[in-house]
Amino acid sequence: MAKEKLVAIKEADLTNNCPECFNQDLKLSFYQKHSYTKLAHRTTNIITHQLVCNKCGSTIYPVSWTDDIERTFEYYQKMVEPKPSALSLTSLFWVLILVLIVIVGGGIYLLLQQQVF
* Residue pLDDT, tens place only, 31-53: 999 999 999 999 999 999 999 99
Distance CA 99, CA 85 (A): 29
Reported as half-sphere exposure (CB side, CA atoms, 13 A), residue 47 has a value of 16
Please tell me the distance from the alpha carbon of residue 71 to that of residue 49, in angstroms, as a whole number: 15
State the distance between the two ends of the chain, measured CA to CA, in whole angstroms: 48
Tens-place pLDDT, residues 4-36: 999 999 999 988 888 888 888 899 999 999 999
pLDDT per position as a tens digit, 54-109: 888 889 998 988 899 899 999 999 999 989 999 999 999 999 999 999 999 999 99
Query: How high is the pLDDT of residue 117?
Result: 60
What is the pTM (predicted TM-score) of this model? 0.76
Q: Which of 68, 86, 1, 84 is nearest to 28 (CA)?
A: 68
Cβ–Cβ contacts within 10 Å for residue 39, how many? 13
